[in-house]
Amino acid sequence: MSSPLRREEVAYVAKLARLSLSEDELDLFTEQLGQVLEHASDMKSLDLDNVVATAHPFGLVNVVREDEVRPSLDRDEVLAMAPDARDGRFAVPRIMGEAP
């Protein structure tokens, strides 16, 4: 049976998910993810137009609290666990490209 998933789609999804896959991984994932989607096809054909979707087991309502200042995590302790931190902030490689 042909996979419900095309290799190009897997490559595109990997890009969305910020993962780079080797050629072999692309082949393997196309096959394996295809099998899972194939299994899920038992669901696709159901007529569920009148069924309400459940994103959460109990109908949650918003939980609010008083807007008051409370102690939070120690900044230095949190930043100490970061791969790179400068001047009390998380530091990352450059975000913008070079000026043309």
Partner 1 sequence: MKTAVQIASDVRSGASSATEELRTSLEAIRARNEELHVFLYVDEEGAEAAATRVDALVAKGDDPGALAGVPLAVKDNMCQRGIPTTCASKILEGWRPPYSATVVDRLVAAGALLVGKTNLDEFAMGSSTENSAFGPTRNPLDPSRVPGGSSGGSAAAVAADMTPLAIGSDTGGSIRQPAALCGLVGVKPTYGLVSRYGLIAFASSLDQIGPFAKTVTDAATLLEVIAGHDPMDSTSLPEPSPSLVAHVNDGVAGKRVGLVRELIDGADQEVIDAVGRALEALRDAGAVTTELSIPELRLGLSAYYLIAPAEASSNLARYDGVRYGLRVDAEDVTAMNEATRTAGFGAEVKRRIMLGTYALSAGYYDAYYGQALKVRTQMIDAFARAYGQVDLLLGATTPSVAFAFGAKTSNPLSMYLSDVFTIPTNLAGEAAISVPFGTGEAGLPIGVQLLGPGRSEAQLFSAARVLERADGRP
3-state DSSP assignment of residue 86: strand
Does residue 18 interact with partner 1 by CB under 8 A? yes
Closer to partner 1 by Cβ: residue 83 or 100: 83
Tokens 């939980």, residue? 63
| Separation CA 32–CA 18 (nearest Å) | 19
Number of residues engaging partner 1 in binding (CB under 8 A): 50
Residue 68 in the binding site for partner 1 (CB under 8 A): no
Cβ-contact 19, 39 below 8 angstroms? no
1, 2, 16, 67: which one binds partner 1 (CB under 8 A): 16
Q: In the complex, what is the shortest distance from the CB of residue 27 to partner 1, in angstroms, rounded to a whole number?
A: 13
- Cβ proximity to partner 1: between 1 and 60 the closer is 60
86 lines the binding site for partner 1 (CB under 8 A): no
